[in-house]
Amino acid sequence: MKLAMPWGHLAAKRWGAAEGPPVLCLHGLLDNANTFDKLIPQLPPDFHYVAIDFGGHGRSSHYSPGFLYCHYHFVIDVRRVVAALKWTHFSIVGHSFGGTVGGMFACIFPEMVDKLILLDTLPLLLDFQELDNLVTYKHQAIEHMLQIEASQKLPSVVSPPKMLQRFLEHRGLDKECGALLLKRGTTKVGSGLVLNRDPRLSMVKSCFNFVSKEQFVQFIGRLQASVLLIKAVQEDKGELITEEEKRFIMDMLRSKLQEVRRDRAFPSLCPGVPGLAALPHHPGLYTWGHEHCRILTCCRARPTLAPLVRCWPQGRSPPWEPGSTWH
């Protein structure tokens, strides 16, 4: 499926019932819609799942020359996608960067998002020094884009085995999952492969928009969606925020979402979890939650989390008690 955009198109794939309740699936930075290939077939078939390739990823068009890849632009793209699909109310499943895009969208358009499921990510990225660092972030992003434009470097053609090896070394995935992402994220050239993604995305941090404490409180205060957050016990080495900032985010999510539920009398949230068998999570699984917001941690050596997910759309009771461990 291709959706027309001002600069070209966004590619997408769909599963389930076309008339069923809609679920938008958003992948992580430098990934693509194949992220969800192992998950969606195990979920209830009477929902309509659509996974997109963000601009510059997978089979989507690259942004126009001279155009900066920016977090807010991805949020705008989500609004364009749901307008094209004629969705007015839907749920979001977002992994990593896709979760921060979905989280910001759910705060800016709270009336449109029923449920927000965050896989090993947070709804917004916080920087306690955001005001001090803002100029530095923008300077780095602009300089990086200009360097990429000036280099005019053509993408390298690499043999499939070597491409997979490089991919696994940098991404921490197993062989099967790496091959799955490369299938949609590369183009065959002669006997080799070329990465589809836009070189302007190579400076990952330039794509994120960090918010200050005050902005975070305002954003989260607008959130109306029921929220499920799945986080890893062992974090990746290249973390973008500090432990102190993470604690603040978790505390604010708990307090604000509990407050939202009291004020708006939300019905109970069935905490089913659409976990991804294809993604690199870490040992240990625990849950924390209440009726409106649930936070849990998923494992690397794990079965698929699809049995938990099936509870979510169908309203059944979860197979664990809050605070328990699921193996």
Q: Where are the beta strands (DSSP E) in the chain?
A: 2-5, 8-16, 22-26, 48-52, 90-95, 113-119, 125-126, 186-189, 192-195, 210-211, 226-232, 286-289, 293-298
Q: Specify whether the backbone of 265 is left (phi greater than 0), alpha (psi in -120 to 50) or beta.
A: left
Burial class for 129, CB neighbours closer than 10 Å (0-12, 13-18, 19+):
exposed
Distance separating alpha carbons of residues 168 and 26, to the nearest angstrom = 21
Mean pLDDT of the chain: 77
Tokens found for residue 229: 């957050």
Instruction: Note the pLDDT of residue 232.
Output: 62
Mean pLDDT of 48-74: 93
Instruction: Note the pLDDT of residue 101.
Output: 95
Residues annotated as catalytic are: 96
Instruction: Note the pLDDT of residue 217.
Output: 86
Q: Does the pLDDT of residue 165 top 70, yes or no?
A: yes
Compute CA 6 distance to the chain's CA centroid, rounded to the nearest angstrom.
23
Instruction: Note the pLDDT of residue 240.
Output: 66
Mean pLDDT of 133-155: 80
Mean pLDDT of 5-18: 95
**Residue type at 51 in one-letter notation:** A
Distance separating alpha carbons of residues 122 and 116, to the nearest angstrom = 11
Higher-pLDDT residue of 236, 291: 236
- Quickly list DSSP for 149-205: HHH-PPPPPB-HHHHHHHHHHHH---HHHHHHHHHHHEEEETTEEEE-S-GGGGSGG
Tokens found for residue 19: 């008339």
Tens of pLDDT, residues 198-246: 988 887 777 777 888 888 888 988 988 888 887 665 555 446 677 787 7
User: In 3D, which of 195, 203, 182, 200 has the Cα closest to residue 156?
Assistant: 195
Instruction: Note the pLDDT of residue 58.
Output: 96
Burial class for 105, CB neighbours closer than 10 Å (0-12, 13-18, 19+):
buried
User: In 3D, which of 101, 83, 113, 98 has the Cα closest to residue 3?
Assistant: 83
Using a cut of 0.85, tell me whether the model's pTM lies above it.
no
Q: Model confidence at 9, in pLDDT bands (50, 70, 90)?
A: very high
Tens of pLDDT, residues 21-35: 999 999 999 999 999
- Count the residues in the chain: 327
Mean pLDDT of 37-58: 92
Higher-pLDDT residue of 242, 110: 110
